[in-house]
Amino acid sequence: MEQQLGSSSFQGPEAVLNMQPSSSIGIAYHPLFGSHPDLILLELDDKLLPDLLLHQRVSLRGQPDEDAVLCTQSKTYAIKFVGTSNSALLVPPSHLYQLSQNSQHQEPDTIIPDDGKLIVPIIQVAPGNMELLEVAPRLDKLKLLLSQKPYSYEEALEDMEKDDKTGLYRWPDLVDMVQASNGELENGLMALSALEIDGYWRIVDEEYMDMILRMLLQNSILNEWSLDELDEDEVVSVLVADGFPCNIARHCLHVYGSKVVDGTVGRNAWRLDARRVGVHFARAILRSGKMKMDNFMEEWLRKIPEGMNVSFSMLEGEVLTDKFGVETWVYAFRVSSLPSTPAERFAMLFRERSRWEWKDLEPYIRDLKVPGLSSEGLLLKYTRRTQPTADAEPVFSAR
């Protein structure tokens, strides 16, 4: 039975939403019926509804030459169109037509024929809907953008502000250009050790960071500072007196140290991190190319501050070794320089080596995050595993 409803009881989609079980309703073409490419159905998981409907904290991001993604405050979703064989009929909202109740004309989104049966208008037959698939943030572009113009010692020496801002990006620029949620973008900036300078997000030139770290270590000897408990105000004050900007001096502590819990009111203390300091000097040494292991270790340990314990295992994901006869050589191969997409990452890894032992491969895929796919799943998809004997180390090659 069709519902017998008065024209003022329901209007437009309300008539459909309030239908009773086992009831029916008539439909008719709306005067504006058509394809309406600006109307697209979006299927959402319940957990995303508050972000979209209540807080309106979602946005579409991407450049004209990129596939758009939908971002919440903390996650990124690829958008996929899925066609359907079932007809999805779209009824326009009532508020689009605000005619007076006293009007002699019937409201166009509720049609009551002569027999009094309610008919709702259809404005479009949807061919399908958009689905969301959680994906990893596309942060390779962030690294590329910030690497265009690192903050250098020469720039720090300049007193006058430059008019040329080419290659510099503010937060809104990065939000517009990088396909990642705000939270993922903040984490990406932190991973790159970026900081905000005069409103622009920058990474600091490695040679400049090397200069300020060496100065900090030299001052620690002159002033008898403990590298396990550096007073932030004192360190910054001394580095500023040596000609370094205050924000870069504090940034040095953030990059190479970690805060120490100190009960003294108003005092911030830092401890230099052995791995971060060790990685920094290893990068500096290997910048000129491959070295014999013995020579590298001798020079590396000579640069490490006295009392700081380091080991070669701290450099996993930073260096690789090759064996030629009886000699072992070491060279730089940084995980931070590799693409973040799994297909490109594995392609580059197998261009570097055709076969990888697990102990060497693991540090270079540890950071890969693909929603819904574990590390084992990644290995099954992109590699071929061989293991001559049950107790032998597995070896991975390209699939």
Q: Measured between alpha carbons, how far is 169 from 173 in angstroms, rounded to an integer?
A: 6
Q: Say if residues 292 and 331 touch (Cβ distance below 8 Å).
A: no
Alpha carbons 24 and 15: distance in angstroms, whole number: 10
Distance CA 305, CA 277 (A): 9
pLDDT at residue 1, as a whole number = 35
Output the pTM of the full model.
0.82
Closest among 88, 85, 8 to 41, alpha carbons compared:
88
Alpha helical stretches, state H, 308-397: 342-352, 358-365, 375-382
- Please give the full DSSP string across 79-109, using - where no structure is assigned: EEEEEEEEEEEEPPPGGG----TT-SSPPTT
Please tell me the distance from the alpha carbon of residue 219 to that of residue 203, in angstroms, as a whole number.
Answer: 24
Select from 273, 147, 135 the least CA-distant residue to 213. 273
Look up residue 366 and give its two tokens.
């540890």
Triad 127, 75, 179: Cα angle to 5°: 80
- Cα 270 from Cα 258, distance rounded (Å): 6
Number of Cβ within 10 Å of residue 61's Cβ equals 19
Tens place of pLDDT per residue across the chain (399 aa): 333 333 433 357 777 888 888 888 888 888 888 888 888 888 888 888 888 887 678 899 999 999 999 999 999 999 998 888 888 888 887 765 443 233 344 444 445 555 556 778 888 888 888 899 999 999 999 999 999 999 999 998 875 456 678 889 999 999 999 999 999 999 999 999 999 999 999 999 999 999 999 999 999 999 999 999 999 999 999 999 999 999 999 999 999 999 987 666 567 899 999 999 999 999 999 999 999 999 999 999 999 999 999 999 999 999 999 998 899 999 999 999 999 999 999 999 999 999 999 999 999 999 998 888 888 899 999 999 998 888 888 999 998
Three state DSSP letters for 4-59:
CCCCCCCCCHHHHHCCCCCCECEEEECCCCCCCCCCCEECCCHHHHHHHHHCCCCE
- Which 3 state secondary structure label does DSSP give 70? strand
> What does the buried/exposed string (b/e) look like for 160-172 if buried means 16 or more CB atoms within 10 Å of the residue's CB?
eeeeeeeebbeee
The DSSP element (H or E) to which 398 belongs, if any, is: strand 395-398
* Helix or strand run (H / E) with residue 78: strand 76-90
User: For residues 385 and 363, what is the distance between their CA atoms, to the nearest angstrom?
Assistant: 17
What is the predicted pLDDT for the residue at 263?
60
Direct distance between the N- and C-terminal alpha carbons of the chain, in angstroms, rounded to an integer: 61
pLDDT of residue 99: 34
* Pick from 326, 382, 322: nearest CA to 349: 382
Quick check: 69 and 60 in contact, CB under 8 A? yes
Separation in Å, CA 26 to CA 2, 17, 23, 123, 231 = 7, 14, 11, 14, 77
Q: CB–CB of 201/190 below 8 Å?
A: no
Do residues 269 and 226 touch, judged by C-beta distance below 8 A?
no
The yes/no answer on whether domain 338-399 falls in CATH 3.40.1160.10 is: no
* 342-352 vs 375-382: helix crossing angle, rounded to 10: 60
* Half-sphere exposure of residue 205: CA atoms within 13 angstroms, side-chain side: 12
Q: What residue spans of the chain are helical by DSSP H?
A: 13-17, 49, 140-146, 153-157, 171-177, 182-191, 206-222, 232-241, 246-256, 274-286, 293-303, 342-352, 358-365, 375-382
